[in-house]
Chains A and B, each alone.
Chain A
Amino acid sequence: MLLGSCLDKHAPPAAIRIRWAHDPETLAPLALQNQSAMDASNLMYLSLLQVNSKPLSIEPALAEQLPEVGPRGDSLTTFRYTIRPNAAWDDGRPVTAADVACTLKLMSCPGIPNEISRNNYSRIRQIELNPANSRQFTLVCQGQSPELLLISGDFFILPEAVLDPQHRLRSYSLPALQRWPATRPPDSALAAVARQYQAADLANHPEHAPGCGPYRLARWEKDRYLSFRSKPNWWGKATTGLPLALQARAPQLDYLIIPNASAAALALRRGDLDVFPQVPAADFNRFSTNPSADVRLYASDSYDIALAGFNTKRPALADALTRQALSRLFDTAGLLRGTQQGRGQRTAGLVPPFDRTNYNDSLRPVPYHPAAARALLLQAGWQPPTAGQPGWRRASSRGEQKLQLAVRYRSSDELFATAALQFRAAATSLGIAVELRPTESALFGKALADGDFDIFMRTLHGNPFAVNFAPLLHSGTSSETNSTRFGNPACDQFIDAVATANDSPQRVRQLRQLQALLQQQAPLVPFFFLANRVAARRDCQGLYVSSLKPGFVAPTIERTAAAASR
């Protein structure tokens, strides 16, 4: 009977079932900590602007159109937005500028878990409401760089009517809240706001508060699944020209939490699952060598780059020549073939090669060349190992230096486990002592911030609209993000110039020069940009795969049968 019950074939359910490896755990819109939480919030809330997957562009979502941008003084930019007239919360109230102001103030309100949003949007300095039009407002942002456009409109708007029904926050200005010292306790009104926010419990029960997005959280069993239902009378249904992510065609989206990739692959083959995003390279390869009539494969570029970096504060790694030498010991071509089945693109810099305008195509990826590495080491003043003295040495003003390398990477990361073994083998053949230290995920961040490594290997996530190397490589940023502790006056100049340049051709020129300089300085060794792989059931149509996270658009997917009957 048991067997019978699971063997009988059910009709395919209406829901589109998508795999997630982890539960988002918290959906607090001001503290989105992982991609799953971001995807879920994208279904329930809207922001002013939305990054569209096809065509790749920034498009208005809650805003009627792209904002009017203008400079103010020589260090500020203003963005004038108007909210769509029919945009409304689930309870029927219109979305107004007051909701935007409330959201921005909540981001800086003390006593609320909002540090992530506060840091990301601290450059929005002021919001000016238009007394004549409740849907219109102006954001004043610090700086004049082009990337400000996305920052000014890429946060989820929350309902003031639920989070601050007494309008307490209206009596505080945004700058006053932003200047609130971390040590100063909130006053009674702000404490009441914080309590109100915590009581709304958006982190665990976002369905209790109204949203303005196309979906509503219907059920959430932690570590098991999240189920989203599309709203039957959502205001956007009547609106045309919305970005893909807002064209809610799937009536129900179920995100199933399946930690193990093999189990997810089996579930997809069996039809227990419809979409398997971010398929590991090996499983994707198995799908393609062993095709199934029910599964279709999609692949695209992504902005995720695998790279290694040096601790430039270590005396042995402080000079560019040594770093150049060591970067020739990474067999990136072999790693791409061996671990990624050749999918992905080798790169010379942090700009992806498929970004034709910005990528410096006169550069070549660093080759795997141990002999050249040896020559460069000699050139950098290192003495090769001899019979009596193992290991490379070099004399410096502060005593003798030894070339001994500790390599850190996340122990859960298979790609870097292989890369580390490959690097160790290549270095050992030259007589360089290498110690591998696979590190538990949480401790990895600490080790990088504390500088407890010589070489690290990790993946960085990028996006097509913000090319900003300042957090990563500027001498002025904290070691929390600038793990290499790299800082070079010429590079700083280029990074600042690229970040602030408005003029496109000049910006491109500077970006290309920066790439060349970075390859010469070699604080980082870019391996390759990883591919985005998605596998889905064949009866799912309208699946748009893109290089944006999460790699595909969920709401546009629908079953062939359902699409035909519509």
Chain B
Amino acid sequence: MESLKSLFGRMRRGQLLALGWLAGVVLLALLAPVLPLPYPAGIPDLAHVAEAPSRASRHWLGTDPQGGDVLSGLLFGARTALLLTLPAALLANLLGGVVGGAAGFWGNRLLVSAPAMGLAPLALAWVLGMPPLAVAAGAVTVGALWAWRCMRRLPASIAAPLDSLVLATVSSLDTVPRLVLVLALVARGGLSVAGLGLVLGLTAWSGPARLVRARMLAVKALPFVEAAQASGLPLARVWWHHALPHALKPLQTALPLSLAGLLALESTLSFLGIGLPPDVASWGQQLAAARQQPQAWWAVVFPALALFATIISINVLTTRKSSLSN
């Protein structure tokens, strides 16, 4: 308790404000279903479409071009941001950090035992339902190759081109237009909300991966990493305990930014008809109303302000943490 108090004591006013805003958003998001709102979210009020904020109609923040109440949309949208977008952003950054860090650290020299490398494509073929005969033939070939390597006394493991693999995946992910990716997904049926979160997370990790990989290239060459390696620690341990924490630095700036990026992406996806179901409110979808009627500023400005304040708050808190850790 005392330490908590001292922590608050050391915070500046801006940071207290940021913490307060975030706590408020989380609280409102969790309480949204039980709050006494004049209008529920997701039900259009056809008598008041795209109306400016007014007390008479009790649409305190106005209505959007579809007749939805902006206030209840904001509150339920906060819920979606908390339960869907934030986890997706965390997933993307975590995945990107680990994969990019590994690629930068090991480069193209990750040693993998040879049979394991041969068996992976075979397993894939099996999963894809290739003819059993072909799979069996492949297995025999792999076995023969391995035996040959054993006879020639070649090392049992070969270097996997991890860095190239990761780079190729990252750049393919970024290059294949989202539209194509999305079309491929939609052709196989729609997406559930959880599925959407997963897709968001899995398509957004390339940016963080790139940043962390770049930083890892520099960190790897630093004396303390080389010293740790020289002292005989296992490579994985050096990577995890010594190199990775330093290489993850750029993510402090990237996390709040990627959160904003995901919200924008989510609004694009709903525009393509594969985003959230239209009856689930989200800030991204509220912002997308600007495409229909930019002149209905109230439908855009309030969610934009909410997003703005949230991102800035997260940013203020993360930079504070970094200055503390230093």
Picked from A282, A335, A412, the residue with its CB within 8 Å of the CB of B46 is: A335
- When each residue 172-197 of chain A gets 1 if its CB lies under 8 Å from chain B and 0 otherwise, what string results? 00000000000000000000000000
Which of chain B's residues 184-208 have a Cβ closer than 8 Å to chain A? 186-187, 190
Find chain A residues with CB under 8 A from B43 CB. 421-422, 425
Closest to A265 in B: B295
In the complex the two chains form, what is the Cα distance from A360 to B273 in whole Å?
A: 38
In the complex the two chains form, what is the Cα distance from A412 to B67 in whole Å?
A: 17
Cβ–Cβ contact B66 & A421, under 8 A: yes
Closest to A415 in B: B66
Cβ–Cβ contact B271 & A412, under 8 A: yes
Which of chain A's residues 399-446 have a Cβ closer than 8 Å to chain B? 410-412, 414, 417-418, 420-422, 424-425, 435-440, 443
B113 interface contact, C-beta 8 A: no
B121 interface contact, C-beta 8 A: no
Cβ–Cβ contact A418 & B66, under 8 A: yes
Which of chain A's residues 208-264 have a Cβ closer than 8 Å to chain B? 262
Cβ–Cβ contact B65 & A282, under 8 A: yes
User: Which of B49, B183, B274, B294 has the most C-beta atoms of chain A within 10 angstroms of its own C-beta?
Assistant: B49
CB of A519, distance to nearest CB on chain B (Å): 23
Find chain A residues with CB under 8 A from B278 CB. 417, 420-421, 436, 438
In the complex the two chains form, what is the Cα distance from A435 to B43 in whole Å?
A: 14
CB of A365, distance to nearest CB on chain B (Å): 16
In the complex the two chains form, what is the Cα distance from A478 to B174 in whole Å?
A: 41
Find chain A residues with CB under 8 A from B67 CB. 338, 418, 421
Cβ–Cβ contact A414 & B279, under 8 A: no
Cβ–Cβ contact B270 & A425, under 8 A: no
Picked from A331, A414, A443, the residue with its CB within 8 Å of the CB of B66 is: A414
- When each residue 48-72 of chain B gets 1 if its CB lies under 8 Å from chain A and 0 otherwise, what string results? 0110000000000000011110000
A337 interface contact, C-beta 8 A: yes
Cβ–Cβ contact B271 & A262, under 8 A: no
Cβ–Cβ contact A414 & B190, under 8 A: no
Cβ–Cβ contact A425 & B271, under 8 A: no
Cβ–Cβ contact B190 & A437, under 8 A: yes
Known interface pairs A338-B46, A422-B44; A440-B292 also in contact (CB < 8 Å): no
A334 interface contact, C-beta 8 A: yes
A475 interface contact, C-beta 8 A: no
Find chain A residues with CB under 8 A from B68 CB. 421
Closest to A419 in B: B44
Cβ–Cβ contact B66 & A417, under 8 A: yes
A510 interface contact, C-beta 8 A: no
Which of chain B's residues 235-284 have a Cβ closer than 8 Å to chain A? 270-274, 277-279
Cβ–Cβ contact A337 & B46, under 8 A: yes
CB of B77, distance to nearest CB on chain A (Å): 15
Picked from A331, A337, A421, A439, the residue with its CB within 8 Å of the CB of B42 is: A421
Cβ–Cβ contact B46 & A424, under 8 A: no
A286 interface contact, C-beta 8 A: yes
Interface size bucket, A side?
A: 20 to 34
Known interface pairs A282-B292, A417-B278, A435-B277; A337-B186 also in contact (CB < 8 Å): no
CB of B287, distance to nearest CB on chain A (Å): 15
User: Which of B44, B183, B190, B274 has the most C-beta atoms of chain A within 10 angstroms of its own C-beta?
Assistant: B44
Find chain A residues with CB under 8 A from B66 CB. 414, 417-418, 421
- When each residue 305-347 of chain A gets 1 if its CB lies under 8 Å from chain B and 0 otherwise, what string results? 0000000000000000000000000010011011100000000
B164 interface contact, C-beta 8 A: no
Closest to B182 in A: A440
Closest to B295 in A: A286
CB of A123, distance to nearest CB on chain B (Å): 36
Cβ–Cβ contact A443 & B270, under 8 A: no
CB of A283, distance to nearest CB on chain B (Å): 8
Closest to A414 in B: B292
Find chain B residues with CB under 8 A from A286 CB. 295
CB of A496, distance to nearest CB on chain B (Å): 37
In the complex the two chains form, what is the Cα distance from A436 to B44 in whole Å?
A: 14
B157 interface contact, C-beta 8 A: no
What is the number of residues of chain B that contact chain A, defined by CB distance less than 8 Å?
A: 27
CB of B266, distance to nearest CB on chain A (Å): 14
Cβ–Cβ contact B279 & A424, under 8 A: yes
Known interface pairs A418-B44, A421-B44, A440-B274; A338-B49 also in contact (CB < 8 Å): yes
Picked from B273, B293, B295, the residue with its CB within 8 Å of the CB of A440 is: B273
Cβ–Cβ contact B273 & A425, under 8 A: no
Cβ–Cβ contact A334 & B274, under 8 A: no
CB of B288, distance to nearest CB on chain A (Å): 11
Cβ–Cβ contact B47 & A440, under 8 A: no
Cβ–Cβ contact B47 & A334, under 8 A: yes
Cβ–Cβ contact A411 & B272, under 8 A: yes
In the complex the two chains form, what is the Cα distance from A282 to B66 in whole Å?
A: 11
In the complex the two chains form, what is the Cα distance from A438 to B277 in whole Å?
A: 8
Closest to A412 in B: B271
CB of B180, distance to nearest CB on chain A (Å): 12
In the complex the two chains form, what is the Cα distance from A162 to B49 in whole Å?
A: 55
Closest to A261 in B: B292
Cβ–Cβ contact B46 & A422, under 8 A: yes
Find chain B residues with CB under 8 A from A412 CB. 271, 273
Find chain B residues with CB under 8 A from A418 CB. 44, 46, 49, 66-67
Find chain B residues with CB under 8 A from A335 CB. 46
Find chain A residues with CB under 8 A from B47 CB. 334, 337-338
In the complex the two chains form, what is the Cα distance from A232 to B267 in whole Å?
A: 51
Known interface pairs A338-B49, A411-B270; A425-B292 also in contact (CB < 8 Å): no
Find chain B residues with CB under 8 A from A422 CB. 43-44, 46
Which of chain A's residues 265-312 have a Cβ closer than 8 Å to chain B? 282, 286
In the complex the two chains form, what is the Cα distance from A500 to B47 in whole Å?
A: 45
Cβ–Cβ contact A440 & B46, under 8 A: no
CB of B64, distance to nearest CB on chain A (Å): 10
CB of B289, distance to nearest CB on chain A (Å): 10
Find chain B residues with CB under 8 A from A437 CB. 190, 273
Which of chain B's residues 60-95 have a Cβ closer than 8 Å to chain A? 65-68
CB of B80, distance to nearest CB on chain A (Å): 16
Picked from A331, A339, A425, A438, the residue with its CB within 8 Å of the CB of B49 is: A339
Find chain B residues with CB under 8 A from A435 CB. 277
CB of A239, distance to nearest CB on chain B (Å): 46
Closest to A260 in B: B291
Cβ–Cβ contact B44 & A425, under 8 A: yes
Closest to A425 in B: B43
Known: A282-B50, A421-B66. 18 other contacts (CB 8 A): A282-B292, A334-B46, A335-B46, A338-B49, A338-B67, A339-B49, A411-B270, A411-B271, A412-B271, A412-B273, A414-B65, A414-B66, A418-B66, A421-B278, A421-B279, A422-B46, A425-B42, A443-B187
Instruction: Name 17 interchain pairs, CB-CB below 8 A, sorted by A.
Output: A262-B295, A337-B47, A338-B49, A338-B67, A417-B66, A417-B278, A418-B46, A418-B66, A421-B67, A422-B46, A425-B42, A425-B43, A435-B277, A438-B270, A439-B273, A440-B186, A443-B186
Closest 5 CB pairs of A and B: A411-B273, A334-B46, A338-B46, A338-B49, A425-B43
Which A residues are closer than 8 A to B by beta carbons?
262, 282, 286, 331, 334-335, 337-339, 410-412, 414, 417-418, 420-422, 424-425, 435-440, 443
